[in-house]
Amino acid sequence: MGAAHAREIATEGGCVVIGDILDGEGRALSEEIGERARYIHLDVTSESDWANAVAFAVAEFGRLNVLVNNAGICTAGSIEDFTLEDWNRIIGINLTGQFLGIRAARQALIESAPSAIINVSSTAGMEGIAGLHGYTASKFAVRGLTRSVAIELAGKGVRANAICPGTIATPMNEGLDVSGFNPMNRKADPKEVAKLVTFLASDESPFISGADILIDGAELAGHGPLLSL
């Protein structure tokens, strides 16, 4: 999804700094996008990496007015088998990584206001899923973090929203059977999510902040009919 977000923002005239731990893929994406993109190595659990990424963005493009917290992993296991190491790793990447990104970018976002923070949560941040304890906990927490940040920074011209994608056609979900999983009976193309990210990053959404925005093909809208219609 992060690659789709970067491409869409650049297509709409924005400049992007791509941060990732996969240097080869990140540099290739930056080269593909062209002059509107840069790449920097970023481990989202590292305070120093975040500080470097923010400084790099400001140095390359003169300001930072959008932060998209997209990095995340999904691990599974029963509550009995899910280890403390498993727990700490997924919370560190999915939740603490977003906290560190917001904290590192805060001042630059204020200085470039109006600015926007877009945090990627999930439909799993709105409903429990057996066996995805760390994932659901982290994604629920992202929504809470987003709301508290939105309130705190509202007076400084910085908006914060959480998007909650359903099942997206990414390598993480490759091979996953989603028949009957949502009423549309398909996975979303990452480009569909990127359109929402770009809208929230733009000046076209000036009064949207502190929101959880579903993009899930009506997955969480409710149940089908109890009787044949």
Q: pLDDT digit string (tens) for 191-215? A: 999 999 999 999 999 999 999 999 9
Rounded CA gap, 112 and 66, in Å? 9
- What is the distance between the alpha carbons of residues 116 and 203, in angstroms, rounded to a whole number? 9
For the segment 70-106, what is each residue's pLDDT rounded down to a tens digit?
999 999 999 999 999 999 999 999 999 999 999 999 9
Partners of 132 in beta bridges: 77
- Any domain includes 76: yes
Give per-residue pLDDT as tens, 13-34.
Answer: 999 999 999 999 999 999 999 9
Whether 36 shows a pLDDT value over 80: the answer reads yes
What does the alpha-carbon distance between residue 211 and residue 146 come to, in Å, rounded to a whole number?
Answer: 8
CB 16 within 8 Å of CB 33: yes
**163 DSSP β-pair partners:** 120, 213
Task: Answer whether residue 176 shows pLDDT above 80.
Answer: no
Domain of 126, in residue numbers: 65-215
Is there a contact between 199 and 222 (Cβ–Cβ < 8 Å)? Answer: no
Work out how many domains the chain is built from and give that number: 1
pLDDT band for position 186 (50/70/90)? Answer: confident
Q: Which listed residue (39, 50, 135, 140) is catalytic?
A: 135
Strand order in the sheet with 158-165: 66-69, 115-120, 158-165, 212-215
In a domain, 189, yes or no: yes
Q: Can you give the pTM of this predicted structure?
A: 0.94
The answer to whether position 182 is within a domain reads yes
pLDDT, residue 229, reads 67
Percent of the chain whose pLDDT exceeds 70:
98
34 found inside a domain: no
Domain assignment present for residue 168? The answer is yes
The answer to the question of residue 175 being in a domain is yes
39 is catalytic: no
Residue 67 has pLDDT above 90, yes or no: yes
**CATH number of the domain where residue 200 is located:** 3.40.50.720
Q: Which runs of consecutive H residues, i.e. helices, occur in the chain?
A: 2-11, 23-33, 47-61, 84-91, 97-111, 133-153, 190-201
If DSSP codes are grouped into helix, strand and coil, which group holds residue 137?
A: helix
Q: What is the CA radius of gyration of the chain?
A: 18
Neighbours of 115 (CB within 10 A): 23
Q: Can you give the pLDDT at residue 53?
A: 98
